[in-house]
Amino acid sequence: MKQELSLIAMLLWIGCARPVIDERGSAAVANDTPVTPPRRHSPGNGLPANHGAGSPNVPGNHGNTTVPPAHELPAVGSKDAGSDTHTDPSPNVPAMPPTGPTAGTPEPPVAVAVEDASSPADPGSPTPSRDELLAGCGTSAPTAVHSATCELAIVATNAGSSPVAQMDRWMEQSTAFINSRRLGELVIPGTHESGSYGLIDRMLRLDDPNAPEAAGEAGEFNSLIGDTRSWSQTTERTISRQLNDGIRALDLHVCSDKRNVIRLCNHLYGPTLEFVVDDVARFVEGRPKELVILSVRGFTDWTNGADDAGITVGNMSPNRVDEVKATIQKKLAPYLFDHSAISPMTTMAQIWSSQPKKNVVVVFDYDNAEPFWGQEAITLAAPSTWEKRRLQASLQKALSADVQICPHCTLFQLGGHVKADSMLMLSGLFATGNLLLDSLRDVADLTNPVILGWIRDEWNARGLRSNVIIFDYYERTCLVPFALSLNGIPGAIPTTCSIGIDKGWSQL
């Protein structure tokens, strides 16, 4: 009955609203109202949830370190269409009218401020006091205030004790603390499936009825129950917002849709690569010390004539891969490092002094990666399960192996998220209370605090240091100030962050 009602609702929606798709990848009705996936509930989370052939100078390759999962399934990830808009160069798709900054206009620094989850703050209202900022952030008085609100509020009120006053310039403002750190040992906050904020529901791709839907058991299951987007979206914030929030590592899974437009994908089409790279360019311009790492991978081709059942990751033709490279080089030319002149062993001071105003590193996960770093430049600790103890063991094993082989010789990316499968999704249909999981957002609320606790209380204390740490729904954690604190930057981490608290993961 639930599926029949959902189908009727969708048909009524299609009849009443014209879908508009632009290069952001997000969908909106004719009045530009963003379309977001329906949610039955929000788990008990009122409390803040803390949470290739390449450069010859990059020594060694540790390889991808994982423990085989209980089910051999592809990883899936699970809404903000963003305020930045541009004209979609793709044919046959109506573009949304501009509502934000025009292309090429640098965005002003983002002041640390509080945003209520229910209504935006009046820009003309007076600056709130510390008590007002922290209202509802304490563990004794949970409210509906978004956890990121608490994170930013506390960082703002701690400005006197921390050198970082603006998260969009945290590297520049903490040079005294990170100058001597090698790139491979700097703790860098990142996002998993960074472009998934703009995923397009399959029914909205009327121009492409064969738009991708998740492959494999997990994908077929969430497609069956109509929740592909909920279980593939991993953040609600645009690339621009992520970078302004302090994120410095982006996970970009590229694909080619059936109109030959290169996009970011995670089981559904997302924003175009051009749009995302433009966001990066606007951010790094004027912020020469804010180093951003782009991890480009996936390379899936959904071009016309392809057999949907035979689509696999990495099937993109060499010519299309070259187009991906060309787009990155064209858009980011003024900011790209000479990748042959630096390595993960290079200190931040050396990076800044040797190539001033260059601040973008690209790790290109393809056999022919030049002129970028290739597969040998990064070691991946990729989650292979959602089961708590097995995930902890696999990530710890990867960290231990990195220390024993050659710490900091490569970038080390720790996946602070889980790998969903149909068994996990079933819990969203039959569980109750805090364990009623509708999406990856709900899962992240359970798992993020625990994984942050592993990093701080177990691994970091034993010398198993993290490097790049990528999470789902970072905005619902204290990931950025948490990473700053691991870099020795004082006063960065909020005291109300929920770290190490298991709100129900062990019961799944």
Q: What is the pLDDT of residues 213-263, one digit of tens each?
A: 544 444 455 555 556 788 889 999 999 999 999 999 999 999 988 788 999
The 10s digit of each residue's pLDDT in 117-136 is 333 333 343 444 434 433 43
Q: Alpha carbon of 78 to those of 159, 197, 233, 332, 350: distances in Å? A: 34, 9, 3, 28, 38
């007076």: which residue's tokens? 126
| pLDDT, position 203 | 62
**314 Rama sector, left if φ>0, alpha if ψ -120 to 50, beta otherwise:** left
Q: Please report the pLDDT score of residue 428 as a whole number.
A: 63
Q: pLDDT digit string (tens) for 191-219?
A: 999 999 999 876 666 566 556 654 444 44
Rounded CA-CA distance 166/290 in Å is 12
- Cβ–Cβ < 8 Å for 439, 231: yes
Predicted confidence band of residue 417 (pLDDT cuts 50, 70, 90) = very high
DSSP E strands, 125-245:
188-191
pLDDT at 99 over 70: no
Alpha carbons 421 and 179: distance in angstroms, whole number: 42
* Residues ≥6 apart with Cβ < 8 Å to 220: 214
| Kind of pairing between the strands at 262-265 and 269-272 | antiparallel
Q: Are 363 and 411 in contact (CB under 8 A)?
A: yes
Q: Which two tokens stand for residue 314?
A: 């990495």
| Residues 339/372, Cβ–Cβ less than 8 Å | yes
Least confident of 143-152, 245-254, 365-374: 143-152
Confidence band of 178 (pLDDT split at 50, 70, 90):
very high
Does residue 489 register a pLDDT over 80?
A: yes
Element (H, E) at 452: helix 440-453
Q: Is 413:378 a contact under the CB 8 Å cutoff?
A: yes
Whether this model's pTM surpasses 0.85: no
Say if residue 305 is exposed, middle or buried (CB neighbours under 10 Å; 0-12, 13-18, 19+): exposed
Q: What is the overall mean pLDDT for the chain?
A: 73
| Pick from 369, 334, 374, 376: nearest CA to 355 | 334
Q: Tell me the C-alpha distance between 473 and 192, whole Å.
A: 8
| Structure-model confidence comparison of residues 314 and 77, the more confident one | 314
Distance CA(392)–CA(356), nearest Å, equals 40
Q: Is the pLDDT of residue 474 over 50?
A: yes
Cis check: omega of the bond before 371, within 30 degrees of 0: yes
Identify the band that residue 333 occupies on the pLDDT scale cut at 50, 70 and 90.
Answer: very high
Give the position of tokens 């220390």.
Answer: 403
Beta carbons within 8 Å of 506's beta carbon, 6+ residues apart: 388
Give, to the nearest 10 degrees, the angle between helix 273-284 and helix 318-332. Answer: 30
Mean per-residue pLDDT, 47-58: 36
| DSSP letter for each residue of 282-305 | HHHTT-TT--EEEEEEEEEE--TT
All structural domains of the chain: 52-84+162-507 (3.20.20.190)
